[in-house]
Chains A and B, each alone.
Chain A
Amino acid sequence: MVKASIEARGDLRLTRLTKTYGDFTAVDDLSLTIPKGSFFALLGPSGCGKTTTLRMIAGLEEPTAGSIHLGETDITTTKPYQRPINTVFQNYALFPHLTIFENIAFGLRRRGQKDVKEAVEKVLNLVELPHLAQRKPTQLSGGQQQRIALARAIVNRPALLLLDEPLGALDLKLRRQMQIELKWIQKEVGLTFVHVTHDQEEAMTMADTIAVMNEGQIEQMGSPADLYDNPETAYVANFLGQSNLIKGTISGNDGDSLIVDLYGQKISLPKNRSHAIDNSTYAGIRPEKFRISLLNTETRGNVLTGGHIEDVSYIGVSTQYQVEMPWGQELMVFEQNDDGVAPFNKGDAVNISWEPTFTFALRGDEDVTAGSQIEPEVLDEE
């Protein structure tokens, strides 16, 4: 039994997983399959249940209901030390009394593995820190500790590697570098990575598949491009990047497209990007998909006229505009500074246009602010 679970391999299946603390439901009837060998991200703001889900997979929390399977093996009630799963903890949780070598060797020694030295040296080379073997964790920088925490987990060749906000404590530049390294290491070792983060950019850089979580449930799951280009809910549209959501009515059909009336102006969008359930809808367009042109100049695709520029922020690679539309809504537009055209000025009367395929449609009863008002997460120290 013990041996069976420690050697379990295969896809991770969460079935109707639920965790409640008193009246509070942290994870609510969540079902999910994570294919073997994939890099999977659970993305959401703090309190969305992503860390609780991770802790249940690790065995550090017991589910209130539901089951966890690894391949064909039920590991729902298996003790953490009997699961073939290792975790890279937030803030790393390295053993301060042991050397780096012994930190990495810890799991191998517990399982009585031979050739500990060889395995540790190999993984130290993989994370490019072989010279630190005899140091103590406190003598290492944050980035180095992060790599050692990763090495300590992957040296055990687990069926599943869990990463709990692994880059949260690093500065931006180092974080970018580690994102690329983590992705590379995952390909190199071929393990299944489950990554929990509140940072949408981090999730999009690394993961093959992202599950966006909200209030203990999965809001939407898919590849980074899917989620970004075709969000199903306002929450996803706002949490992953920024979106302009414009209230409208579906007024007709045109082959594979829907015709949508936005405050009297008609636009079209692909049917397969519509998640509306009746005629009322919100048309969604990402700010960088918009083009701005002065009135009376040529435009193509969907066009909204009657805007004027309310605010201009020049930020180097792009210029960000706030364009006030006749119905009072301000739209966000990001223009690449790559066309030699002088930026528009505040007060200019403009048209906004974009390619119809870049439009998605949400249900008309959505809360358009969902997911956009979330405070940047403060990593809790507990």
Chain B
Amino acid sequence: MGKNRTPYLLLLPGFGFLFTFFILPIINLAQTSTQTRVSGGDTGQYEQTLRFANYVDAFVDNKEQFGRSFLYAIIATVLALAIAYPLAYAIAFKSGKYKNLLLVLVVAPFFTSFLLRTIAWKQILGEEGFLVPTLRSLGIISQSTTLTSTSFAVVMGMTYNFLPFMTLPLYASIDRIDPRTLEASGDLYANGLTTFRRVTLPLSMPGVVAGTLLTFIPAAGDYVNAAILGNPNTKMLGNVIESRYFKIVDYPTAAALSFTLMAAILILVTLYIRKAGTEELV
């Protein structure tokens, strides 16, 4: 031992970074979450009193936003999966020489800022955009219906913004499938649907799991889409944390909510991986 220190040296920068910018702030946040206001002190002045009831208060006061965060995140994840799977499948198997071009197009949105793209959705869904007048004239939505500042807009924005995070792992996973295994499935009396269910889908499960996690986790904590595309009734937990921190200067509640959100995501993700993992991933 001691001879081969290379792996540890290689790990050092990563550990150092994570320690400074993740572990230390998390500890700090944990301390903050049980603090209470100094009586008679200034705004933003808190002292440690180990008041764990902060968690209960924070949760009870924001149950609604909690539920909404997970509901929106789940809907956006399911929508993104439904859109990205055929897309990734087509890029992997049907795009021929356009494969690389299509992959570039998938990540092309990253060349402009996240905020800018989200604001652009405001215009797409706005009264002057092409979408609303078209849907109205087709009678799909009523003349008085608007799409901006709705939960629909928030979910659409989230679906759109996280789509590449769903598409890329799916593509990586589907692209690795040997097309001959699909031919073999057809050769062994499985029709198209059965081949998808028995061969393609199980073999792409690593991509499905990675893609849904990469979409769901940031979506559950997202506040930009709700802030830009939503209204006061579509607030997600991210928005509450943001306003507690920066507007109300209620650090303990913001910290307690952050931890609760983190814990909830961890529990959900663990359950999900357990469930998806029963298929025995390749």
Contact = CB atoms under 8 A, between A and B. Distances in A.
B183 interface: yes
Contacts of A97: 199, 202-203, 279-280, 282
B184 A81 contact: no
A93 B190 contact: no
A81 B189 contact: yes
A114 interface: no
B191 A81 contact: yes
Contacts of B202: 97
Nearest to B184: A93
B188 A152 contact: yes
A80 B180 contact: no
Nearest to A381: B178
**Taking chain B's interface residues, is the majority helix, strand, or loop, or is none over half, making it mixed?**
helix
B187 A86 contact: yes
A208 B189 CA distance: 29
Nearest to B176: A96
A133 to B, nearest CB: 16
Interface stretch (A28-36, A105-113, A256-264, A269-277): A105-113
A357 interface: no
A82 B282 CA distance: 29
Nearest to A382: B179
B183 A89 contact: yes
Given A95-B199, A97-B280, A58 B191 contact: no
B150 interface: no
Contacts of B183: 60, 80, 87, 89, 93
A35 B190 CA distance: 27
A80 B186 contact: yes
B186 A79 contact: yes
Interface in B171-229: 178, 180-181, 183-191, 194, 198-199, 202-203
A60 B184 contact: no
B185 A106 contact: yes
Interface string A86-102: 11011101111100000
B181 A106 contact: no
Interface residues of A, number: 25
B282 A80 contact: no
A110 B279 CA distance: 19
Contacts of B194: 110
B121 to A, nearest CB: 39
Contacts of A81: 186-191
Given A97-B203, A110-B194, A89 B180 contact: yes
A156 B188 contact: yes
A317 B181 CA distance: 44
Interface in B103-149: none
Nearest to A106: B188
Contacts of A79: 186, 191
Contacts of B279: 97
Given A93-B180, A95-B199, A106 B190 contact: yes
B95 to A, nearest CB: 15
Contact of A95 (B184, B186, B189, B280): B184
A91 B184 CA distance: 11
A94 B185 CA distance: 9
Interface in A98-147: 106-107, 110-111
Q: Which of A60, A93, A156 has the most CB of B within 10 A?
A: A93
B180 A96 contact: no
Of residues B189, B198, B199, B280, which shows the largest number of chain A Cβ atoms within 10 Å of its Cβ? B189
Nearest to B280: A97
B189 A111 contact: yes
Contacts of A156: 188-189
Contact of B181 (A58, A90, A96, A110): A96
Interface string A228-253: 00000000000000000000000000
A56 to B, nearest CB: 13
B93 to A, nearest CB: 12
Contact of A110 (B189, B203, B280, B282): B189
B282 A107 contact: no
A145 to B, nearest CB: 13
B201 to A, nearest CB: 10
5 contacts: A58-B187, A79-B186, A80-B186, A89-B187, A94-B181
Given A81-B190, A95-B184, A97-B280, 19 more contacts: A6-B189, A58-B187, A79-B186, A80-B183, A85-B187, A87-B183, A87-B187, A89-B180, A93-B181, A94-B181, A95-B181, A95-B185, A95-B203, A96-B181, A97-B199, A97-B282, A107-B188, A110-B190, A156-B188
Chain A to chain B: the 8 pairs with minimum beta-carbon distance, closest first: A107-B188, A93-B180, A110-B189, A93-B184, A80-B186, A97-B202, A81-B189, A87-B187
